[in-house]
């Protein structure tokens, strides 16, 4: 993609005219309208200082908005080779005709042993088989020839499995990857409960050696191996570290953890892609969810989005049947974007982002899938390079709601826990539930 000319950004950014307040400083004869030269010089100098300060603030605001817009315009190439840590090619990460991304020529299917035996046919190469007992699913990952590489062709070849197979789609986190900054503000949140809750995450790996996790209990398992290649994919740490810091991160004497006695179970499923953008294959995502299903959790936070997928829908349904509440970011593709998953599944609690004043995040998706809004704009989060960074996105609002829900699930049933959040949500936008804020804004 060619660099986006910065001059094109400025017409898209609404600028307000800033004027300095009228100043009345000095000892001149105000009643007669006369002001002595010294007083006039002081006023003029003060006026220039105010204007310069405003110019600096305006410039900083323009630069921030321009940077954010540039980040939204970044696209991955249509074909992106993904390598293992050892440098071996693992697969091609490709863009499909519908705009979604997937592993090239790879599909997943679930079924019984006799049904899955039908995969033994020309044009199909089985790559791996996983018994996902926590989800009650047997999943086979396979590669197809070009002639079978479509829903229509595979459905015709395997009609008895057509409603249980789908592409090995790729999912993405929903924040940027800001660098640590000494200007990052101090978090303003407070502890939500001191119960020893157990909460799950599906994310990148967490940099557990960061100082904000000094008192935290974090258990993580990595799902980045591939049977057909040696080694595993390279694991990033930025996104998961940020999300985990919103749950159990703290700075003694400055700000507490939202869940000080919680244990976080993190399924690390993301691999490194181009331009610091992470990706997670559906195959690894299902393995991570299966592991979490066996950890006795009441809530799982998923700060990622992607396309609808029959196997992901089945996994979400199985977890909900087990009494697990799933909280997911609705996405950062903009107000007119189509619904993204898993947040758009009816069993999932979709969360959007707003700032602390209740103003909706400009890039947040909207729709019936939005159930709550929470803090997700210019949020201080931990960065793996030992510092803090201010970041924005629906990914950062989702764990706030997950934390509050985990506290309530410690004492209430699933429905009553969700109802308790509805009761305390601040109704914004149109009266009642709407497509921007859902039931309302939760400020924790």
Q: What is the pLDDT of residues 235-244, one digit of tens each?
A: 999 999 999 9
Q: What is the pLDDT of residues 381-429, one digit of tens each?
A: 999 988 999 999 999 999 999 999 999 999 999 999 999 999 999 999 8
Return the bridge partners of 217, or none: 263
Q: What is the pLDDT of residues 313-340, one digit of tens each?
A: 999 999 999 999 999 999 999 999 999 9
How wide is the angle at C-alpha 208 spanned by C-alphas 206 and 213, nearest 5°? Answer: 115
What local confidence, expressed as pLDDT, does residue 30 receive? 38
What local confidence, expressed as pLDDT, does residue 49 receive? 58
What local confidence, expressed as pLDDT, does residue 150 receive? 97
Q: What is the pLDDT of residues 252-307, one digit of tens each?
A: 999 999 999 999 999 999 999 865 579 999 999 999 999 999 999 999 999 899 99
Query: How many H-runs (helices) and E-runs (strands) does the chain carry?
Result: 8, 19
| Whether the Cβ atoms of residue 266 and residue 201 lie closer than 8 Å to each other | yes
What confidence tier does 231 reach under pLDDT thresholds 50, 70, 90? confident
Q: Is the peptide bond before 342 cis (omega within 30 degrees of 0)?
A: yes
CA distances to 70, 71, 265, 268, 355 from 204, in Å: 23, 20, 12, 5, 25
What local confidence, expressed as pLDDT, does residue 108 receive? 98
Q: What are phi and psi of 392, to 5 degrees?
A: -135, 155
| Whether the Cβ atoms of residue 278 and residue 204 lie closer than 8 Å to each other | yes
Q: What is the pLDDT of residues 7-41, one digit of tens each?
A: 333 333 333 333 333 333 333 443 444 445 555 45
Q: What is the mean pLDDT of residues 109-131?
A: 96
| Whether the Cβ atoms of residue 56 and residue 245 lie closer than 8 Å to each other | no
Question: By C-alpha distance, which of 369, 333, 330 is closest to 353?
Answer: 330
Q: What is the pLDDT of residues 150-196, one digit of tens each?
A: 999 999 999 999 999 999 999 998 765 566 666 688 898 999 999 99
Q: What is the pLDDT of residues 66-103, one digit of tens each?
A: 444 444 445 789 999 999 999 999 999 999 999 999 99
Return the bridge partners of 175, or none: none
Q: What is the mean pLDDT of residues 428-443?
A: 95
Spatial distance between the Cα atoms of 379 and 254, rounded to a whole number of angstroms:
16
Residues 6+ apart with CB under 8 A from 4: 70, 73
What local confidence, expressed as pLDDT, does residue 127 receive? 96
Q: What is the mean pLDDT of residues 123-134?
A: 97
What local confidence, expressed as pLDDT, does residue 72 receive? 47
* Predicted structure pTM score: 0.83
Is the pLDDT score of 198 beyond 50? yes
Q: Cα torsion at 84, 87, 88, 93 (round to 10°)?
A: 60
Q: What is the mean pLDDT of the chain?
A: 86
Is the pLDDT score of 57 beyond 60? no
């Amino acid at each position: 993609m060619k660099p986006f000319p910065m001059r094109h950004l400025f017409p898209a950014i609404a600028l307000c005219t800033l004027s300095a307040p009228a100043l009345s400083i000095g000892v001149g004869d105000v009643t007669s309208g006369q002001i002595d030269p010294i007083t006039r010089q002081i006023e003029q100098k003060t006026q220039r200082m105010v204007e310069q300060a405003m110019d600096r603030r305006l410039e900083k605001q323009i630069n921030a908005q321009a940077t954010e817009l540039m980040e939204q315009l970044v696209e991955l190439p249509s074909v992106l080779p993904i390598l293992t840590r050892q440098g071996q090619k693992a697969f091609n990460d490709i863009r499909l005709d519908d705009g979604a991304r997937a592993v090239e020529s790879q599909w997943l299917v679930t079924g019984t042993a006799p049904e899955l035996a039908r995969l033994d046919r020309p044009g199909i190469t089985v790559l791996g088989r996983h018994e996902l007992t926590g989800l009650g699913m047997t999943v086979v990952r396979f590669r197809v020839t070009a002639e079978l590489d479509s829903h229509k062709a595979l459905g015709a070849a395997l009609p008895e499995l057509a409603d249980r197979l789908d592409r090995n789609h790729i999912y993405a986190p929903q924040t940027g990857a800001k660098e640590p900054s000494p200007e990052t503000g101090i978090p303003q949140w407070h502890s939500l409960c001191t119960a020893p809750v157990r909460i799950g995450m599906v994310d990148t790996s967490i940099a557990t050696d960061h100082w904000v996790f000094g008192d935290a209990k974090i258990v993580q398992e990595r799902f980045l191996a591939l049977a057909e290649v040696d080694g595993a994919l390279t694991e990033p740490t930025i996104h998961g570290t940020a999300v985990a810091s919103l749950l159990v991160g703290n700075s003694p004497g400055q700000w507490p953890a939202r869940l000080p006695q919680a244990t976080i179970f993190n399924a690390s499923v993301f691999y490194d892609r181009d331009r610091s953008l992470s990706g997670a294959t559906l195959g690894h995502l299902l393995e991570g969810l299966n592991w979490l299903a066996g950890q006795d959790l009441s809530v799982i936070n998923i700060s990622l989005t992607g396309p609808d997928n029959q196997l992901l829908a089945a996994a979400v349904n199985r977890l909900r049947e087990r009494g697990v509440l799933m909280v997911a970011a609705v996405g950062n593709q903009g107000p007119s974007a189509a619904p993204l998953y898993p947040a758009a599944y009816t069993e999932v609690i979709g969360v959007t982002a707003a700032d602390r004043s209740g103003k909706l995040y400009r890039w947040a998706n909207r729709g019936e899938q939005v159930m709550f809004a929470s803090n997700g704009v210019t949020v201080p989060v931990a960065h793996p390079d030992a510092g803090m960074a201010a970041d924005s996105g629906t990914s950062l609002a989702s764990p706030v709601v997950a934390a509050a829900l985990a506290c309530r699930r410690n004492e209430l049933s699933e429905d009553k826990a969700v109802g308790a959040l509805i009761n305390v949500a601040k109704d914004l936008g149109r009266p009642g539930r709407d497509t921007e804020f859902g039931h309302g804004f939760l400020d924790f």
